[in-house]
Structure 1
Amino acid sequence: MRKFMLFLSVFTLLLLTACGNNDSKDSISTIKLADAGWDSIRFHNGIAQIILEEGYGYDTEIVNGTSSATLQALQQGDLHVYTEVWSDNLGDAYTKAIDSGDIESVSTNFDDNSQGLYVPTYVIKGDPERNIEAVAPDLKTVKDLEMYPELFQDPENKDKGRIIGAPSSWIVSKHLDEKLTTYGLNEKFTYLAPGSDSSIVADLASAYKKGEPWVGYYWSPTWVTATYDLTLLEDEPFDQEAWDKDKSGEFPPNDVYVSVHKDLKTQAPEVVEFFSHYETSSALTEDALKYMGENEASPEDTAKWFMKENEELWTSWVPEDVAKKVKAAL
C-alpha cells in the first residue's frame, strides 16, 4: 500500500507539473535567449528582454554558452532566440542548422561589420600627445607582421612574437590559427588563444595604457573598437575558393542574423513578427557599446539608454500598442 501511495503521489506531482507548464509545441510562457559570450549580443538581448517582457508580457531567460553550444541548443529547441548569429564564423554548423529547417533567420541585425588582426594605431603612426613614436610605419597588412616578430615579443618565448587570437572556444579561432600557418607566421609568432573575450581586452588595455606594441584579434562593432584607436591590418580581398582552401585573404562578409527555433512561429507568432523587423547597424551597436564601456553600464541599462535615444527606430519594429507599453515602462 505504501508503495502504491508513493507511486500515486509521484504520479500526481508529475501530472500537476505538466499541467502547470504552459510551454508546449504550440504555446510558450518564457522566451529563452542565447548569450554566446560577448557584449553586443548581451546588449541586443537587453533590448529584446525589455520589449518581450514589457510589451508582450512574456518572461525571459538568458542562457550562457559558447557560440557553437548555443547554436546547437537553438537547433534542439532548448533556446528560442539568438539575437546575434555571426553566420560565417559558425560556418557549416549554421548552414546545416538552416538547411535542416530546425532554425530560421528572420532578419539581419547588421551586416556592416569587420574582424581580423588589429594593432593600436600608434604602432604605425605614433602619438605625439603621448610622446609615442611610430615603431612600425611600414606595417599595413597581416603578412607584413613577418618583419616585426621582435616588436610584438612573446614574454614567454622571446625568440618569437606573440599574436593574441580569438577565444579558444570560438570557431573563428581555428580559422585564424590556420590563416597564420598559411602565411608562415607560425614560424615567427606564437598564436595565443585566450579563454575569453575579457582576456583579450585586458591584454590590449594593459599594452595600450603603457603605449606598447600589441597585435591581436578583434571585431567591430564593439566598445573596444569604439574606445581605442585601433587599425585593422589589411589582407588580400576575400575570395571564397582561397578561404575554403587555407583561410587566406580577408575574413568572409559576415551577415549577423536574428535567428529563432522553428517552433517559435507557432508558439509565439507575434514574437517572431517583432524579430523579423529587428535591424540595427554596426555604428548604432558600437555607440551603445561605447556607452556601456564608458559608464560601466549593464546590458539592461545600456538597452534602456539606447531605446530612449533611438525611439523612432525600435518603435518601428512593433505594433503601436506594444510600443506604448514599452515606452511607459521605460
Structure 2
Amino acid sequence: MMLKTGGAAAAIAVALMAAASSPAFAQDAVACDTDRTIDIAEMTWPSAAALAHIHATILEEGFGCNVEIVTGDTVPTSSSMMTRGTPAVAPELWTSAMEEPWNKGKEDGVVVELSLAITDGTVEGWFIPGYTQEAHPELVTVQDVVDHPEIFQDPEEPSKGRLYSCPPGWACEISTSALFEAYEMEDTWNLFSPGSGGALDASIARAFTREEPILFYYWGPTSILGKYDAVMLDMGPADKDIYACNTDADCDKPAGKTAYPSSPAVIGAAAWLPEEAPAIAEYFSKTGLTNAEISELLVYGDENQADAEATAENFLRTKQDVWTKWVPAEVAEKVNASL
C-alpha cells in the first residue's frame, strides 16, 4: 500500500522518531550492549571447556556480541582477570584454589561473581558401584567398606582390598593417601595408583562393564559420574582444617578423617562486564547447571570422542528445554537458526 503524502507522512515520521527515542526502543532486549570483545576462558578440563563454547555460541549468535574463546586455567585466568580485566568471563572458576586473592579482587571491585556455575556444588569422594551397594546394602559409609576388604579384592593380592587412588602428582593423590592412613587401611588394603587419569577411567569403566566391585576416588561433574551409577560413600562432615593438612604434603600433623569439602565453582567476570553489558551479566546469572546436568552433557563427548565445541553444539541441539530458559525467545530463535 502507498503512503499518502503531506500530513499523514509527517505524522508517521514523528511517530517513528518518538519510538526511536523511547526507552523500550533504545533498550533492545537482545542487544549485546558493548562493542568490546567478550573473551571467554576455555579451561583445561572438559566441563569448563564445553561451557565456554555453549556461552560463546549463545552470545555471538543470539545476542550479536563479539566473542573470542581464549585458553585458560584457574590461577592464571583469575590473576589476569583481576589485573587486566581479561578474559571477561570464566564460566567455571573453582575459587577455592585462590580464595584469598579472589575475595580481595571482589572487595576491590575488579571482579564479580555472576552466579554459581555448578548450582549444587562440586563433589569429591570415594565411590562404589550402585549394583555393589544393592548386593551389600550395609555398605553406606567409608568405614563400612574399610571393614569389608574381601568384597573389593585386589586382583594381584586377593587377601587385601584395593582402593583406586589419584594419578601421581594430582592434589587428590595426597588427600587420598592421607585418608588411607587415617582409616588405618594399610594391613588389609592396597592403595593402587592408576598412573594417569585415562588409566583410572579405564579401570572404572572395566569394572562397571563387568559388574565387578570397585572402590575408587573420583570427582564431579564428570562424564564418568554421568555415565555410571556410582554411589558416593558417607565420609561424615567436612573439616576444613583436617582437609587442609591432608592436602599438604609438608603437614606434620597425623592424617585425619574428613569428607572432601565441596568447592564453589562460579561464573567469574571482570567488573567491566556488568557495567557495560548488563544484559549479558543478566544472562550469566541464569546459566547455572547441576552436577548431574553437566555430567550428562559430558557423556556425549566421552562416548563420541567429541571436542568441547561439538559437545557444546550437542547440548544446544538436545537440551533446548534447559538453555532456552536463560534467554529471550528472540535470542533462542537466532541460536537455533545458527545450529
Q: Which residue of 2 aligns with 1:329?
A: 338
**Equivalent position amino acid for 1:120 in 2:** P
Alignment match of 1:302 (pick from 303, 311, 322): 311
Q: Structure 1, unaligned stretches of length 5 or more? A: 1-25, 127-135
Percent identical pairs in the alignment equals: 27
Count how many residue pairs are aligned between Structure 1 and Structure 2.
Answer: 290
CA RMSD of aligned residues (A): 3.6
Deviations 1:233-274 (A, max 9, x none): 121133556545656332224443111234544575554343
**Equivalent position amino acid for 1:112 in 2:** D
Q: Which residue of 2 aligns with 1:44?
A: 51
Alignment match of 1:122 (pick from 131, 135, 139): 131
2: CA distance between counterparts of 1:265 and 1:299?
26
Q: CA deviation at 1:152?
A: 4.4
Q: Which residue of 1 aligns with 2:61?
A: 54
| Alignment map for 1:17-32 (pairs within 5 Å) | 28-29=36-37, 31-32=39-40
- SS of the residue corresponding to residue 32 of structure 1 reads strand
Are positions 1:82 and 2:90 aligned together?
Answer: yes
| Alignment map for 1:92-111 (pairs within 5 Å) | 93-101=98-106, 102-111=110-119
- SS of the residue corresponding to residue 279 of structure 1 reads coil
- SS of the residue corresponding to residue 235 of structure 2 reads coil
Deviations 1:141-173 (A, max 9, x none): 223343345654567788865433345565444
When residues 159 and 310 of structure 1 are mapped into structure 2, their CA distance, relative to the original with a 3 A threshold, is closer
Deviations 1:46-86 (A, max 9, x none): 21121122133323224154x45554455455543222234
Q: Which residue of 2 aligns with 1:10?
A: none
Are positions 1:112 and 2:159 aligned together?
Answer: no
Q: CA deviation at 1:104?
A: 2.4
Q: 8 Å contact 2:114–2:285 — kept in the other structure?
A: yes
2: CA distance between counterparts of 1:70 and 1:199?
29
Q: 8 Å contact 1:40–1:222 — kept in the other structure?
A: yes
Instruction: Tell which structure's C-alpha radius of gyration is larger.
Output: 2
Q: 8 Å contact 2:226–2:296 — kept in the other structure?
A: yes
When residues 280 and 208 of structure 1 are mapped into structure 2, their CA distance, relative to the original with a 3 A threshold, is closer
- SS of the residue corresponding to residue 117 of structure 2 reads strand
When residues 156 and 175 of structure 1 are mapped into structure 2, their CA distance, relative to the original with a 3 A threshold, is same
| Alignment map for 1:215-234 (pairs within 5 Å) | 215-234=215-234
- SS of the residue corresponding to residue 208 of structure 1 reads helix
Deviations 1:65-118 (A, max 9, x none): 4x4555445545554322223444x3xx13431223353221012332533111
2: CA distance between counterparts of 1:210 and 1:158?
18
- SS of the residue corresponding to residue 218 of structure 1 reads strand
TM-score, normalising length: structure 2: 0.69
1: CA distance between counterparts of 2:303 and 2:151?
30
1: CA distance between counterparts of 2:221 and 2:165?
17
Are positions 1:190 and 2:199 aligned together?
Answer: no
**Equivalent position amino acid for 2:56 in 1:** Q
2: CA distance between counterparts of 1:176 and 1:43?
28
| Alignment map for 1:225-244 (pairs within 5 Å) | 225-240=225-240, 243=243
70-79 vs 150-159, greater mean Cα deviation:
150-159
When residues 181 and 236 of structure 1 are mapped into structure 2, their CA distance, relative to the original with a 3 A threshold, is same
**Equivalent position amino acid for 1:50 in 2:** T
Q: Structure 2, unaligned stretches of length 5 or more? A: 1-33, 247-255
Q: 8 Å contact 1:154–1:161 — kept in the other structure?
A: yes
